[in-house]
Amino acid sequence: MKPSHVCSLFAVVCSSAVSAESYVIGVEKLAFAPHYSIDAQGLYQGFARELFDLFAKTSGVELSYKVLPVEQLLPALLSGQVDFKYPDSETWAQEQKAGKSLSYSQGVVEYVDGVLVAPQRHGQPIEQITRLAMVNGWTPWGYQERINAGQIELTYSDDLRQMIRQALKKDTDGAYFNVVVATHYLDNIRARPGALIFDAQLPHNRGSFKLSTLKHAAFMQRFDRFLLDEQRAIAELKGRYRVEANLDSEHIGVEQWKLDFLERQKTREAGGS
């Protein structure tokens, strides 16, 4: 090969490297496993990280993650400091987004936010909820009318750990949070499985986490196509991280062996009646 050809090939390779698409996803500095969390080195990890890494690999783009406190994340998106925000939803922070033309992906993962109570309180009517534990920044959908009427008092905590401790001490009648995340924390970190359980009879909110952007609407179409084309791989990721564990069940987030035990118990009780 002639030297000129070598130089031309080198120029093409360099040009491709320089022109590779590169984007920054703004993510929450929050312990929100199994969806996502930040490790001791400050690196983003969990289901969401693996999902976005898979998208980068299959689409040929370069993605980096900018970890920010939750309250700084939306301003960073609106000011152009990051290209995308995750998670997001059309229903969140609507006042801050007023006048901004944000684009959203299809739902990445489904979630349920609701009240977790002590097992002995399960099934009690909403009138029995007079004090509700919350993490700062959360909105207790379905409870606002009773809060405004002074029938429910909110007790705020800085994080999930503090809120769960408060609820376990019975300082409150229940704790409002993402059900899968709270259950994961109780099972795997606090080592108190079943100490608080989701009460599906109380008001709760269903939705989906989405990717949002202010400037890259065309990119979002590619991401939506990825969600469709890679359904099998994404379903495997969801199953491994249990981010949608039993969302259509009263036992949201409960591990399968516990469900099997409850089913056997129910069968024995039916046989003895």
Q: Note down pLDDT in tens along the chain; length 273 residues.
A: 445 444 444 444 444 444 568 999 999 999 999 999 999 999 999 999 999 999 999 999 999 999 999 999 999 999 999 999 999 999 999 999 999 999 999 999 999 999 999 999 989 999 999 999 999 888 898 999 999 999 999 999 989 999 999 889 888 999 999 999 999 999 888 878 889 999 999 999 999 999 999 999 999 999 999 999 999 999 999 999 999 986 665 555 555 555 555 556 656 666 655
Contact 204, 116 (CB under 8 A): no
Contact 185, 162 (CB under 8 A): no
* CA torsion, ordered 248, 249, 255, 259, to nearest 10 deg: -140
Which amino acid is located at 122 in the chain? H
Q: Could you tell me the CATH number of the domain that includes residue 192?
A: 3.40.190.10
Number of domains in the chain: 2
User: Does a structural domain hold residue 194?
Assistant: yes
Tell whether 164 and 197 lie within a shared domain. Answer: yes
User: Does a structural domain hold residue 272?
Assistant: no
Tell whether 95 and 213 lie within a shared domain. Answer: yes
Tell whether 236 and 165 lie within a shared domain. Answer: no
**pTM of the full structure:** 0.82
Domain that holds residue 54: 20-110+208-241
